[in-house]
Every structure is written in structure tokens, then in C-alpha cells.
């Protein structure tokens, strides 16, 4: 179970995720702690939901594409999809062929990878690129955010009320933490701690990709707890005027 989000803030990109994954075993699914956001190169991050094996294959392929180190254009992005699609298609065919021999009327969900790639280009432009399991894709930086995983509808509900492109990275970290933390607390999506947070920022003449340290995540949690308390206090002060009949 997974929730990965990407935020396009005014001075950089944030990616955050929960830290639980489900892997297969001979006795059934097993939940383990797992990172879901990875550095592709000095300007790019990768996050995905889906089957662990397919996510690993996707990351390996994407890391091997050297053109992703420079600025992206339509040719570079088309090449990425052309390299991913045969892998996804072959896994789907193998899955369907195998389970048809067992029960053709009850084929379980196939292995997939639903990928989000984020990048800050040399000119400062920020990209959030979503690649679906069928390799259809969309650019979401103008929307301001992207989500993937079984908690994505919950995340959309929380994030759509914010003007994300107008907030800075520091506040964006808090918003990202809030989204993942509340998704975990709901308990309906199988999400779990720890929470992982990464940033991509252009600082002066260079672009920096950074993962928040344990100490930074603890400080972020403290700020989040203060924010939650302030929300409760504000709610207690609200007085609703009675309707006039």
C-alpha cells in the first residue's frame, strides 16, 4: 500500500511518501518498511506505486537513460516511454497467460508501476511527469501536484484546496508531511510510517536534490503538531451565527 506525492512549489519541488510496502511470499503478502522515492540523477527524482518488482525494473531503466540528465524535451520523454512499455506489456501478458490456466474467470490484478518523475531544469523550470501503467502520460506541474497509490484520492482532496505554486518549499514540506501523515492516520489505506521527504531546488547556479534527515523530519513533525493544535484552537473560537427565520 502506497501514497507518493509531488508538489510544485514556487522555488522548488517536494516529493514525499509513506514508508510501508507489501511484498509477496509463499505464505501470502508481507508488509515491510520501504523507501519509495529515489534519486535518478543530480536533478531528478523518481517515485512510484504498484508492484515492488515492476517499480524496481522501472527505476533501473530510467536510471540508465542518460538523456534524462539534461533538459527534457518530447524526444527524451518519448524514449522513456518506449523503453518502459515493452517491460510493462510483457509482464501483463505473462500474468494473464499464467492465471488463465488456473481460472480464466478470476484473473487477479496484474503487476504494475505507476510512476512520477520530477525535475528542475537548468533554466529553473520545474516538471512533474506522471507515467501510467499503460505508458500514457501527463505533465502536472501546472496543476501544482501529483499523487499515486491507493491513498491518492485522499491526497487529492487535501491538496486541491491549496495554491501550491504560490507557497515556498519550507511551507511545502509541512503540507507534504500533513498529507502523508493524515493518510496514515486514517488507517483505511494500509499506509505506514516512516515518512520520507525529498526536495529539488535551484540554489544560485546549481540544482540540489536532498533527502530530509531524521533530525529534519523530527523538527517537521514538531511543526506539524503545532499547526494541528493551532487548527483546533481556531476551530474552538469559531462562533456560528444562528440562521434568521
The CATH number of the domain where 134 resides is what? Answer: 3.60.20.10
| Among candidate residues 186, 183, 231, 194, the one with its CA nearest the CA of residue 216 | 194
- Domain of 22? 3-237
On whether residue 242 sits in a domain, the answer given is no
On whether residue 245 sits in a domain, the answer given is no
Domain count, the chain: 1
| Among candidate residues 192, 243, 185, 175, the one with its CA nearest the CA of residue 3 | 192
| pLDDT tens string 62-94 | 999 999 999 999 999 999 999 999 999 999 999
On whether residue 58 sits in a domain, the answer given is yes
Whole-angstrom distance, CA of residue 212 vs CA of residue 217: 6
On whether residue 177 sits in a domain, the answer given is yes
On whether residue 175 sits in a domain, the answer given is yes
DSSP string computed for 187-225: -SS---SPPEEEEEEEETTEEEEEEPPHHHHHHHHHHHH
Whole-angstrom distance, CA of residue 207 vs CA of residue 187: 37
Residue 25 has pLDDT above 80, yes or no: no
Question: What is the value of pTM for the model shown?
Answer: 0.92
The grid coordinates of residue 232 equal: 483546533
On whether residue 166 sits in a domain, the answer given is yes
Whole-angstrom distance, CA of residue 38 vs CA of residue 34: 11
The single residue listed with the C-alpha cell 511527469 is 129
Residue 231 has pLDDT above 80, yes or no: yes
Q: State the DSSP H helix or E strand holding residue 30, giving kind and residue range, or none if neither.
A: strand 30-33
How confident is residue 54, by pLDDT bands cut at 50, 70 and 90? very high
On whether residue 34 sits in a domain, the answer given is yes
On whether residue 23 sits in a domain, the answer given is yes
Quick check: 10 and 28 in contact, CB under 8 A?
Answer: no
Amino acid at each position: 500500500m502506497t501514497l507518493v506525492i509531488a508538489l510544485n512549489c514556487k522555488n522548488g519541488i517536494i516529493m514525499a511518501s509513506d514508508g510501508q510496502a507489501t511484498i509477496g511470499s509463499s505464505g501470502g503478502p508481507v508488509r515491510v518498511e520501504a523507501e519509495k522515492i529515489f534519486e535518478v540523477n543530480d536533478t531528478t527524482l523518481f517515485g512510484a506505486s504498484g508492484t515492488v518488482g515492476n517499480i524496481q525494473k522501472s527505476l533501473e531503466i530510467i536510471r540508465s537513460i542518460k538523456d534524462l540528465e539534461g533538459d527534457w524535451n518530447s524526444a527524451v520523454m518519448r524514449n522513456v516511454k518506449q523503453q518502459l512499455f515493452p517491460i510493462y506489456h510483457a509482464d501483463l501478458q505473462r500474468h494473464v497467460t499464467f492465471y488463465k490456466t488456473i481460472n480464466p474467470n478470476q484473473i487477479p490484478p496484474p503487476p504494475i508501476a505507476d510512476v512520477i518523475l520530477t525535475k528542475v531544469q537548468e533554466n529553473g523550470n520545474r516538471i512533474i511527469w506522471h507515467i501510467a501503467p499503460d505508458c500514457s502520460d501527463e505533465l502536472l506541474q501546472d496543476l501544482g501536484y501529483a499523487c499515486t497509490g491507493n491513498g491518492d484520492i485522499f491526497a487529492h482532496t487535501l491538496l486541491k484546496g491549496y495554491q501550491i505554486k504560490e507557497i515556498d518549499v519550507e511551507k511545502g514540506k509541512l503540507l507534504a508531511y500533513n498529507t502523508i501523515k493524515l493518510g496514515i492516520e486514517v488507517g483505511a489505506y494500509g499506509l505506514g510510517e516512516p515518512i520520507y521527504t525529498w526536495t529539488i531546488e535551484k540554489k544560485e547556479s546549481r540544482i540540489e536534490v536532498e533527502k530530509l534527515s531524521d533530525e529534519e523530519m523530527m523538527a517537521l513533525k514538531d511543526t506539524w503538531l503545532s499547526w494541528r493544535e493551532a487548527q483546533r484552537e481556531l476551530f474552538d473560537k469559531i462562533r456560528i451565527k444562528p440562521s434568521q427565520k
